[in-house]
Structure 1
């Protein structure tokens, strides 16, 4: 609840208290007036005052302060009437004191003067009547003096209390504001430091991976694996901090893209194949009838499952198991995607479960705890699921395990089942798992349930077998087509499985470290298995599974697509044009927003890649001009094309009117997704890729030789990757950078001398990207740092680093020319 709403609720409560007390007093005053036979004309006045006060409150008219003065006026009038009778005059002082104390709740010191003045007027009224002999009773001077002192003291005390309330409230507001500022600064710091740490961690994990691929010595491989594992764990912690920061600051923005749940589950399965020894059994039970394609934030769905699985594995010993069950429930809006993770671990008490739900709590915390992590997992899951409009439920019992249930809505794009078996009417499956091999009966039950779910969902007949002899008899008498077993069952009778009837296929699930026998007739699938693993084995599709089978081994091409690329940097234009050329697209180039507007008036384009930050007319303004000039039939798909890829920027561009968003440098998979989404299906297709030997590619030469790897500053591997793996393309980028360098330096110097920091920043953003494309990472970072300083008008930083920037540009050019000269000679 925000502060203004809280203040309104407090003011409402204060008014109710005052009005209830006033109403009770008025009722009592009416009764006394009737009993004592006082002036009856006053009764309607008292009623009118009470009704009017309540009407003002109920109607909500006037501000709080005005209402308080109205209430005080009517109450003073009622007390004046009561005290106007000489026998009750002394009692009226007590009522005035009580009224003053009551109105201290309002924190309005001025309203107290109404009661003070009312008492002074009442005292004066009686004095006038006594002096004029209209009242026979004389006032007791001592009592009147004491009453006056009581009224004055009450006024001072109530005023002091009002001041204290106001001071306390102001102090609390200031403290709240300070706490909010401190929290925001802390969150900004955590987000910034996390982002800064991601780059070196990526280097650690990436380089260790490259070294691992070529390392043969076991000790070194073990050390490199440890380095890589530590880097991945640290990277995961940083991701957790960023996720939690976005959730806590309510800045989390979800993506809405098509995805396949089968791809997510496959990634999870691959990750848990790499578990170290002593980990519990992991069982993945994915319903075969989950819709093939849904719409949602696939990255965060994967993180939800991953957090739940990692938490379950942490608190389960090697004899237990962790079961992941994924299924859907049909709804009018699509489906509810349901994720259930159950473990046989240590469990939680009710108190621990409540504390876990509150977040940032680990069961086994402290110096001696045996688990890893920083305790953010479930807090992140709760944040993601709440944002998705779903719920999380935890069921747990000490020493018996924990079950976490997650459900959230998803739209369905393709209702076809995500798993389909070929010719189910011809299949009959026997599943043989020994009952006695698992120390925990839960493992056996989950495996049995998982296989039953898969084959039932596929409408395939299945026989559950617990004895080997029974399996032999079944395979002889029935029309069994497939036998599903595990590693232990295979090792007990390998010869029988290898030599079983030719029309029976044997599928064995084995541990990741299992060595497959040479020339084996058995199909082996690595644990953890799930519906796709088994169905692929049944369908005999054991190559690397492509979750979009129609694209496997094929290349995406675009036909008759007119594209326009708009960017003020020549190098960026060349990069984008080269990438699009790889898809068979010929693109026109525009160097400014106005040039793009003019070109669109002369020619119809199917897709336009619009850079965001350009001088004079930026991308947003140019897009709106193009939209205004074009008719509805000539509407082109316009894609925001920018290096600004922070959270929420995509939504910002979409609100401005862009059709989609792409971050620089271009990621091929994202480019393909966006183009397939925006362009009609008649404009693109997948074509077979011809296999070519590496020596046949002309793109592997540089001045007649392969690209040398002896650069001093540049990172050619990174550059070639950004250039879609084309050495020729990368060389062209190097030469283009060298050709443009003098012009870039001259323009930067001119803008620097003129202190035109806005265009200086835009030019630096272009340099930042072009440097990254050729692998000049240090130069790219330096340009980015100075660009941020120019944007924030931090002139001292710009001045201190401007000359160093020019020196780094010269060093990169020297590196290009040195290697170029060396290779040519």
Structure 2
């Protein structure tokens, strides 16, 4: 072998012969492998995963989740080291791994922090590829997740061996499918490139439409706007298809008839209900008709919950009910409930009922079927819409699953413009710094911001913008995510962590990756506007972040998230506080007992379940302590620090429970 920049297995020549035996390199995408990549991402709870194969010079991706590359050079991959091992290679923090010190995919490229890879090994001992889980933050995976990856690796090799024994490919079919794949890849890649200039076209025509025009000019502009919107719909459909195949969940915001959607779901499920069950739909008289939101996701949630109720109820009744909790100038907050008189859920199972692969009883799958994923998916869908879901149940007597969602009101274009004008009046004169490297988007943003009456400075990249930020006072930052020199993520992290500034930052991007919006919020951004943006949408987000209410305290406990999420519905706040007060003391006792007995598995499960409750009351310091205990349980090693953290956790949560017990709305 010639000199190379990457490590070479001692059996490299034989390894390459084994790889070619399977005829897998440069083949078409296949659902079977796509499903495995999605399952890896799902099991490890990471935004990116892949199934890949490695030849002389490159790593080729058979299936990916979370990134668009089809291949990379072998010497830039983390997998070059996995290929040298016989088992899994896990890197919690790539910046601290000596082997990766010069790897370009840590700070550039894919920006990898966490990596877990397992080799794909043939029956005769040759490593021909890898299955990998990737994240952009420092983290780890537990033993169960590692075992799941080993099982999936064995499954991939079993399928490849089966193909070698049982198939020849139809060459003509392969050529035809390659042509289709090339077309689809071209459309998917070009759609991303089209969005940036289209953003300028739509934005500038919107601005021109507000100037003095004669009848003919207005007609022409309207035609351009209509054509632009139609083109954007086509592009979005292409991207949505790509996102669905990569496992993304898309939350739409479109006007729909709430009553019609609920009645449709009811009629759809009614045919599945036996005659022994009374099936009801109760709608609040004050329920709005038209709302802005995702009708399909609401239908998916209610269908899943109702389907469970039907499955586990032999007789009695099942009721879907929807009630309006609060209303303000912009939105409605609604409580949805699915209640049944079925088999119910044991009290000790309520805390884990929304976990993946969890069902109320071990015999549930045998008796009723199902994977145990449905409720976890429902929980994700609710939380992606900034809602909360919970359950009440008595074993043997029935259950009630209920969730809270807020939907924006539907306004006509005229009302939207009026609201935008009112928002401008409410906002003070703002000094805005835009981070944007595209000249068309710079010009568009300047025109829009000038119309708002704000001052605007523009930085071409993150480093230039930081220098400007240090030398002038600004009220707001608009942050493009994809920039040269220093991108939007790195710039925001520097402003938050190094400069310790809490200036409002709104992300603006035309590129949508898995979990990108949540990542923006996680690193400290306050708002998010996808490109191409409408003036009303941008102004609405500016108004929201600039007029965000200060944190509301009760005896030193931050209730702002709970109050904001419930639109200050005191009944809901009281209900959540009661659940916390009744639940946490028992969890503390269980956690401490498990630690005393060095029951690592129990500590891991209890700590993981408790972690979802603490952020509701902004108990961030205690959450860090709980996370440390969970990590040490995963590592099966409690240090002296663990006892200190447990004592701090018990005291902090006990104090919180005492304070919340006296809360009065």
Give the structure with the larger strand fraction: 2
Does the alignment reach a TM-score above 0.5? no
Q: What TM-score, normalized by structure 1, do the two folds share?
A: 0.25
Q: Which has the higher contact order (CA 8 A, sep 6+)?
A: 2
Give the structure with the larger helix fraction: 1
Q: What TM-score, normalized by structure 2, do the two folds share?
A: 0.30
Between structure 1 and structure 2, the one with the greater Rg is 1
